[in-house]
Chain A
Amino acid sequence: MTLTTLPEWAALGPVFALVATALLVLLVNTVAPDSDHGGLFATLTTGGGLTGLGITVWYLLGDTGQPDGGGPIVLFDGNLVVDGMALFFTVVLTSVVVLVGLASYDYLESYPDRAAYYSLTLLSATGMTLLAAANSFVIAFISIELISLPSYALVASMKHDRGSVEGGLKYFLVGALSSAILAYGISLVYVSTGSLGFEPVAEAIVRDGIEFPGILGFGILMILGGFAFKMAAVPFHFWAPEAYEGAPAPVSAFLSSASKAAGFVVTFRVFTQVFDGALGVVDWVVAAQVLAVVTMTVGNLAALRQERIKRLLAYSSIGHAGFALIALAALTGGDDTFVLTAGMAHLFVYGFMNTGAFLIVALGEYWGLGRRIEDYNGLREQAPFAAVAMTVFLYSLAGLPAGGGFLSKLYLLWASLEGGVAVLAVALILNSAISVFYYSRVVRAMWTEPPADDLDIEEHPTGLYAAIALALLFTVLLAPGFGFVLEFAETGADIVTG
């Protein structure tokens, strides 16, 4: 099935599905502001995510935007491009929307302003899918703002919770600074090349030679910094622990999985496609190597001593940003397609296992368990399914053979060797070993510690359980199905590196 019967703009179907759902939620809330629409909103959000996911999977299987199906679809004067990479990440993003939409239904039971919550989530997701398809710096910048602004509000959405408001404000301040850095970087690139579109900039760098390498170099590094904010890579990570901890847990899941993935897709695209020819100006591969190693190490070491489970997961997700950065850091001119494929596949698996882990925390908060690791003591007795699921998520995150995480990390290791960057491989192994320790702390609490006397779980919220079960299913299935993911990732990676 190709797009011969559909107009070209239909390639943006997932984006339209998400934005339309967001507007629909707002419309329902405007027409009948006083009645309780929690179930309806959750259904709409999940439905919107599913529609986007369905369209994307259909396109992927129908070779839309793939080399076999006529190649990338370029829209709006080259400002947007729908290709294998955009579709691949849209699958991750919309899947996370589905999981978060499902989980939020129970989590938000006593929450006053649910229309705002769901519409903001959907709008932020719209920005993410748009970012995945961005093909110019203008669109990239606007998409990032479209992701960020709703995110700030989402983090601060528990208006009477001090942590939530504080986290939101810090997120906003660091975000504003990062946006400024990004915008400045883009302007420097514009000064050097005279263009804002990805392809014109790339051509200009190769064609004209660079008159003032310093200006372009500054621009490139500042853009890397701006993107690092979205990826939550050191030293642009400071917002992450505070925002994740303060935010409602489904929002933390959304930000740490989807928002991060969106940050990576634009980074992959810009650096492999646009700045590929600028390696003589600034060796951004080395910059990425520094960022990757530092991010891995800081994230994992800081997670070691955390007492609170959400902060632990926050640092773990920072550490994973470092792992995924290997996809940039190992682009030393070896098998670049393979390196990028490994990074993409890792983010795919990560989307499910990390969301799942945060949703377990959402479940814990729903039960009122408390925020510390020891509040999860003896969870096996009252909620064996949750304990099993959390164990799988955490050990998959650690890279043990409990789910797809083992294979994706193996491929990252392989990629660092393929790129000939031994320090990345060593850092990956050491940090993974460290991560087993702190993940095991949570697992030990759940399985071997005696439960607190007042631990009494009676409710088993359907939506949250369904979302966790789905995340678990995919985390486990991605182990045998990893080859399938790799195939699509490789097609996507091949276009941008080729």
Chain B
Amino acid sequence: MTRYWHLFKDSALLYSFGRDKVAMASFSVLLLLVLLSFSSPLIAPFDPYDPAGIDIMDSDIPPSWQEEGDPRFTLGTDAQGRDMLSTMLYGTRISITIGFFAVLLQSVLGILLGLAAGYYGGRIDAFLMRLADIQLSFSTLMVAIVVLAVFQASFGTELYNDLAIFMLILVIGIAEWPQYARTVRASVLAEKKKEYVDAVRVIGLGSRRIMLRHILPNTLSPILVISTVQVANAIMSEAALSFLGLGMPVNKPSLGSLINSGFEYILSGSWWITAFPAAILIILVLVINLLGDWLRDVLNPKLYKD
């Protein structure tokens, strides 16, 4: 363990991080958002999931510094009478969770399929890459819209509301695996030619072990770069789907569904219902993208193009 820590401490990654102000700032903002949102049950002033704690008479209160504000609700309340601050904390947690797990799913899928395609080659490779082509030619958002509309319809809205978070993770996760598969496959093809792979094969290690223990670590840096960008993309996709009413339900809102529910009030002067979640969403996605940019510059991996 300590060995890895030393490796990490002396790495070029950390060195460059220490010298890049944008990266440091982005990372701290991201860390702050993650910490705050995941401790929301502890720090949020209200519980937005508890109907008994919500009073309709408190709805639509502007932020507390405005004339009609209420000191209980720092950032005001939404149309249901929920405290904006608490709802946003919980909503950010949902958005981050969906983004993280969707990317986890797509990376696991993509890495396994990419390894298989690259290592075994032949028909498996041809089939998997063709599948990836077809899947990529339909855009993720399109697939997600259709699949979610279908599921929402066939589950009925009631069941869908309970399953929404899993459905979003599944749909966004499955739709984007080719991104990983192609990159991993390309690296595998490059690595396979190298002598060390032949060497371990001569020792008699199984192919699974060769792939996971020897080839995979060499593909980590492109995966890391893709993952960062993909988390940002997944959060954006989720927001877009929620905006169309296909994402998280109103009683368990993500940032996207909060923006959606505020959209009808934006002209009526209740700007805070849309503006605050929108700002958080943009900041969240922006810092992740900035980190991704920085990682790309530092690691400079060979990403799959074409």
Check if A and B associate. Answer: no
A residues with CB within 8 A of B: none
B residues with CB within 8 A of A: none
